[in-house]
Structure 1
Amino acid sequence: MNSQHLSSMEAKNQEPGIDYQYKSLKDDTSIRLLYLHPDSLNQLPIKASLLEYPVNACPNFGALSYTWATEDGVATLSRELLCDGASLKITQNCEAALKRLRRPREDQVLWVDAVCIDQSNLEERSLQIGLMRQIYSQASWVALWVGESSSTVDEESGLPLSDLGMDYIHDFAVEIAERMNSGRNVSEGPLYQEFIKDRQAFQHSNSKVFTPRVRGLWDVFHRKWWGRLWVIQEVALSKEPTLICGSKAETFHNLKIVIEALIRQEQPVEVMEFNTNFIASTFHQFHIRHMIETGGMGKISPPGIKALRILNATRNAKASDPRDKIYGILGFFGPSGTDPENIFPEPDYKKTPAELYADVSRAIITNTGNLDALSSCYGFFRSSIPDLPSWAVSWNDTPLKYFDDEIFNAAGASSVIYEDSNDKLHLRIKGSRVDSLKLTGVLPDSIGYSNEACIEIWRYWWKFTSTLESYPTKDTVSDAFQDTLCWGSDLNYHRLGLAEYKETFNAWLKVLTGPDDTATTANHIFNGKEPFKYAHRASSITWGRNMGITDKGYLALVPITTKSGDEIVLFQGAKLPFVVRTEDGKSKLGGPCYIRGMMDGELAIHGDAKAVDELEWFTLW
């Protein structure tokens, strides 16, 4: 359909000067496409039309991936799109993207969520979410709009830094490809050397230490677009994604070449850490797309495991509506009736976030037969989700983990024993109370987790630990402390043997218990080669946690909100022990804990039917 025909339709569909009125879609499998009308003079407001098509019978179209908000955070509907002659309000960033994609002489056909979906219609929003997979898979191309060119200009060239950064991506990808094809070392290339040249200065300063091109790359990689949840599936499902920033465009393929070269394993650890931190903001998009391209998103058994993996992989991405942390990944699954991996409830924006998170958590638990999902539940912490049950995963909050629960087996080979509850915000499962907290470390109300704060915490923990005369597993108290403070795992989240950190732990402990003041001790530990190896691991685990001693004499690393008297429970189907608090007959999950001597099924119920029957039912609130 040409633009003249569309223009003649405007007067019939809408009256000029009024707000655009959406017409109901004909059925649940229809979508609207936006026809951007041409403008060789790049004038505003943008003129367009909306036409409805069955999702399986659309003309050739592209799709837009963008954020509603600008880099300044402005997300108000402050701009006007003349749609079929009537006013449709859009955000400033949406207008900028449409203006960039508009053609001078012919219509541009696009799918744009803010325009093609009636955002005021909750039922339509819920139904359209189920079509995202088809929309982005069928689009012939996808524009990844990260925003306008940066306002900061390079003094020497007079160009915006982001323009230099986009050109750098292209040139860097060419250099990497050429060196790899000729068998030369990628890290010796001039552009690679330019990238890492100022890494040490950057640790003590900011991105201004970089060359203008690398500063431009930093600017592009730290746009808000990278952190948004919805764009993850938009990138992963698209055929030909293209990154667009201002007037510059670069294929996602070239971007992938750069990212993969920077995180390849055969390079010094300190360089790897710098590279990883530099590009960390881009990981969501590359990780999931890579899983799809390599077959890592194929059928995973049993159902529920794939859902949990994707939810964990996208957890730190942002969504303005917390329910979209669930709905924003449904594009990775087929319809619930045909895809056994789709264990999610149908999208429903009338459901509260707490109800949705509880439904999804329960579905994962019952489908997998284990409690892996609960390893990131910290029910005593205040969640961003009102009225969230202590056992329901808060997909909207950053998890407190730094370990892999797969390497532990606290409840042995057992499966979760679950019972339906009349209240869907409750979870009834079986377990056994194996211990309780006798003592927990006293911590200040607010901890900044500076190097000096860590020293003070560790000194206090070692002080009350060293009062123990023996340890229940026959380990030395020192060995139990060394293991517990690392959550029994190393920096790669592999199971830790005592011998692995013994030398560096001894060096760390010698400085920690020495006569120096806190500041001097922190300097020696965090700048000393041997002590730092242990401190590097221990400091990541220390955040948000406390150490305590149980009634049976075990050391326990527990959530920071744990109190003396809280109980240690082994639930069937759990890889970790959990802290549980019962008050006024209500049990709440405090979170997982690490207790050397309980992590490998030592206290689990193994196949004894009578003992399993006698396990206690816990109703978690």
Structure 2
Amino acid sequence: MMDNGIQKTVVDYQYDPLKDGASIRLLYLHPDSFRQLPIKVSLQEFPINACPSFMALSYTWATEEGVASLSRELLCNGASLKITENCEAALKRLRRPTEDQVLWVDAVCIDQSNIGERSLQIGLMRQIYSQASWVALWVGESSSVVDEETGKPLSDLGMDYIHDFAVEIAERKNSGQDPCEGPLYQEFIKDRQAFQHFNSEVFTPRVRGLWDVFHRKWWDRLWVIQEVALSKEPTLVCGGKAETFHNLKIVIEALISSEQPVEVMEFNTLFIASTFHQFHVRHMIETGGMGQISTPGAKALRILNATRNAKASDPRDKIYGILGFFGAPAKDPENIFPEPDYKKTAAELYADVSRAIIINTGKLDVLSSCYGFIKSSVPNLPSWAVSWNDTPLKYFDDEIFDAAGASSVIYEDSDDKLLLRIKGNKVDSVKVTGQLPDSIGYSNGAYIELWRYWWKFVSDLKTYPTGDTVSDAFQDTLCWGSTLHYHRASLEEYKETFKAWLKVLTGSDDTDTAAKNIFDSKEPYKYAHRASSITWGRNMGITDKGYLAMVPITTKVGDEIVIFEGAKLPFVVRTEGGKSKLGGPCYIRGMMDGEFFTKQGTQATDELEWFTLQ
């Protein structure tokens, strides 16, 4: 920096330690013109319960291009404080021309180099975002692509479209008209079929702009979910445009209304899928939609599952990033989480949380998305600990099954916190598994080849242990006994569409033709649609007792089928040297409703054995 020809060195800003664990810093963003840099700020400490009115910023550190380096500078009380490019862009937009703007921004208000302070401040997120007078949801600057006709950035058109669309929906509902017949709704779905074969370029400029806004990195981030859900007045901000989250909610709810044809609903769901976390969790909080939660740990599992696919640069933040939904452990029985501690590894943290949920609920629902034979992105993760940093292979609701009846988990403490000791009943073993290629692309053609192979070795069975026909057992197993809406499926529900599917599958068509005749035809596609979601990441097997089993893709011949006390599903387990690894849940028609359940206290418990899962 130059002053009258004399070089001035700007020193790095040094944080004063916070006085206690119940204080926060607020950022005073000093007034200036929009383009003036560097941005000038100051920080002031307040007790969390005695803060002046402030707003909070919800944003991602990285730009849309993924740049998250500390390449920009604030002048904080005259000293240099490094921030990211996206943070600077948001502060420029929020800066007022003539008066201070008081706000809370994580990257600036928390000393990010102080691990202890970061851990303590996480516990205050709930109060920070719920106390803020309003929260700016900064998704980034206006898009660089400009509409040729209007000369406006596409994202500006998309933001305007949100407002106009919300107004149209509300007006049509108030006048008793179908929102789906409105001109803006029709514009939205008009090019849906072309989109399946091309990309968003087929849309009108306004719908392309909406796509642009909905596919910003902000929507993917884990931390922003609680920031949205806990806010009183969240407002979406993109470049120079702003829109209330309320209007955004009106649009999203109309697009996923069940009163639409299935094919339209699927297009709409795909279009808005990136926004789902924010709306789903905020709706859960607003409506008390946690279900009939009766035991501590159930709410924790529900929120962890609801935020599972959101992204966090640090896998430990998949836990710490949702703590704002819970009160202090001493006052909130639902807070079963350990205190934030960034000295703990992700594997240790995930094991601690999985164990806490098991102990508090007395059930093993948390294990339903554990696939221990598949390498996790979290190093050294035990097979029984959920990797909340990886996408689950569920596509079913375990609540509709009851493999171990009304039993509760039988658990024993272990000195090694990466081991889990529980009791279960070994009911069967895997005798045959379908051969799989080294690499599966899961194209329509790949599905056809897998299904044909599975049907060929399964149809050699003459009988099925439950008395069902082999065909009925196959139909049920390949869709995990449930529908696309995760309800329990009766055999009759898919009977006709399964027949149409099987007729094409067992016909003489080559793979490509069979794929076209199944996936492009209404009747066989209904079954194929459900079966394909379950097929991904799984294999078909036959057990020693002659049952069909839908098992994790890594299952081997000789792996055990175990029903643990407190479990709603059977599990594949591999035991070597007295220690076992959990392979994952499986579906076996004839074992899902307590048929192999040994009721504690009324029968000999010799059938139950201890499993030390590692």
User: What TM-score, normalized by structure 2, do the two folds share?
Assistant: 0.98
Question: Is the contact between residue 299 and residue 341 of structure 1 (CA under 8 Å) also seen in structure 2?
Answer: no
Tell me the equivalent position of 1:106. Answer: 99
Tell me the equivalent position of 2:3. Answer: none
Give the counterpart of 1:329 among 322, 328, 337: 322
Greater shift in the superposed pair: 384-393 or 584-593: 584-593
Tell me the equivalent position of 1:12. Answer: none
Structure 1 residue 547 corresponds to structure 2 residue 540: yes
Partners of 2:169 and 2:470 lie apart in 1 by: 51
Partners of 2:603 and 2:492 lie apart in 1 by: 40
Question: Is the contact between residue 129 and residue 347 of structure 1 (CA under 8 Å) also seen in structure 2?
Answer: yes
Tell me the equivalent position of 2:272. Answer: 279
Q: Deviations over 1:327-374 (max 9, x none)?
A: 000000000000000000000000000000000000000111100000
Question: Is the contact between residue 34 and residue 92 of structure 2 (CA under 8 Å) also seen in structure 1?
Answer: no
Question: Is the contact between residue 425 and residue 607 of structure 2 (CA under 8 Å) also seen in structure 1?
Answer: no
Tell me the equivalent position of 2:222. Answer: 229
Q: Which amino acid aligns with 2:298?
A: I
Question: Is the contact between residue 83 and residue 107 of structure 2 (CA under 8 Å) also seen in structure 1?
Answer: yes
Structure 1 residue 568 corresponds to structure 2 residue 561: yes
Structure 1 residue 179 corresponds to structure 2 residue 194: no
Structure 1 runs of 4+ off > 4 angstroms?
none
Greater shift in the superposed pair: 601-610 or 275-284: 601-610
Structure 2 stretches of 5 or more lacking a match?
Answer: 1-7
**Number of residue equivalences:** 607
Q: Deviations over 1:111-134 (max 9, x none)?
A: 000000011111000000000000
**In the TM superposition, what is the alpha-carbon distance from 1:298 to its structure 2 partner?**
8.5
Structure 1 residue 556 corresponds to structure 2 residue 555: no
Structure 1 residue 474 corresponds to structure 2 residue 467: yes
Tell me the equivalent position of 2:132. Answer: 139
**In the TM superposition, what is the alpha-carbon distance from 1:40 to its structure 2 partner?**
2.7
Structure 1 residue 401 corresponds to structure 2 residue 394: yes
Give the counterpart of 1:366 among 346, 359, 365: 359
Any residues of structure 2 matched to 1:249-288 within 5 Å, and which?
Answer: 249-288=242-281
Tell me the equivalent position of 1:116. Answer: 109
Q: Classify 1:581/1:508 alpha carbon distance in 2 versus 1 (closer, same or farther; 3 Å).
A: same
Tell me the equivalent position of 1:295. Answer: 288
Q: Which amino acid aligns with 1:210?
A: F
Partners of 2:388 and 2:207 lie apart in 1 by: 34
RMSD, matched Cα: 1.1
Question: Is the contact between residue 12 and residue 81 of structure 2 (CA under 8 Å) also seen in structure 1?
Answer: yes
Q: Which amino acid aligns with 1:407?
A: I
Tell me the equivalent position of 2:586. Answer: 593
Tell me the equivalent position of 1:88. Answer: 81
SS of residue matched to 2:160: helix
Q: Deviations over 1:526-560 (max 9, x none)?
A: 11221111111101100000011111111111000
Partners of 2:601 and 2:534 lie apart in 1 by: 35
**In the TM superposition, what is the alpha-carbon distance from 1:297 to its structure 2 partner?**
4.6
Partners of 1:41 and 1:526 lie apart in 2 by: 54
Partners of 2:261 and 2:588 lie apart in 1 by: 34
Q: Which amino acid aligns with 1:55?
A: I
Structure 1 stretches of 5 or more lacking a match?
Answer: 1-14
**In the TM superposition, what is the alpha-carbon distance from 1:613 to its structure 2 partner?**
6.0
Any residues of structure 2 matched to 1:17-32 within 5 Å, and which?
Answer: 17-32=10-25
Any residues of structure 2 matched to 1:46-65 within 5 Å, and which?
Answer: 46-65=39-58
Any residues of structure 2 matched to 1:379-394 within 5 Å, and which?
Answer: 379-394=372-387
Greater shift in the superposed pair: 149-158 or 187-196: 187-196
**In the TM superposition, what is the alpha-carbon distance from 1:295 to its structure 2 partner?**
2.1
Partners of 2:138 and 2:492 lie apart in 1 by: 50
**In the TM superposition, what is the alpha-carbon distance from 1:231 to its structure 2 partner?**
0.3
Q: Which amino acid aligns with 1:475?
A: D
Give the percent of matched residue pairs that are identical in Structure 1 and Structure 2: 84
Tell me the equivalent position of 1:4. Answer: none
Tell me the equivalent position of 2:571. Answer: 578
Tell me the equivalent position of 2:420. Answer: 427
Q: Which amino acid aligns with 1:95?
A: E
SS of residue matched to 2:500: helix
Partners of 2:33 and 2:433 lie apart in 1 by: 70
Structure 1 residue 375 corresponds to structure 2 residue 368: yes
Q: Deviations over 1:142-187 (max 9, x none)?
A: 0000000000000011100000000111111111111111111111
Any residues of structure 2 matched to 1:200-239 within 5 Å, and which?
Answer: 200-239=193-232
Question: Is the contact between residue 16 and residue 86 of structure 1 (CA under 8 Å) also seen in structure 2?
Answer: no
Q: Deviations over 1:75-116 (max 9, x none)?
A: 000000111111111000000000110011111101000000
Greater shift in the superposed pair: 498-507 or 224-233: 498-507
Question: Is the contact between residue 149 and residue 247 of structure 1 (CA under 8 Å) also seen in structure 2?
Answer: yes
**In the TM superposition, what is the alpha-carbon distance from 1:612 to its structure 2 partner?**
3.1
Question: Is the contact between residue 605 and residue 612 of structure 1 (CA under 8 Å) also seen in structure 2?
Answer: yes
Give the counterpart of 1:501 among 461, 484, 494: 494
Partners of 1:540 and 1:100 lie apart in 2 by: 43
**In the TM superposition, what is the alpha-carbon distance from 1:611 to its structure 2 partner?**
2.3
**In the TM superposition, what is the alpha-carbon distance from 1:594 to its structure 2 partner?**
0.5
User: What TM-score, normalized by structure 1, do the two folds share?
Assistant: 0.97
Q: Deviations over 1:5-37 (max 9, x none)?
A: xxxxxxxxxx96111111110000000000011
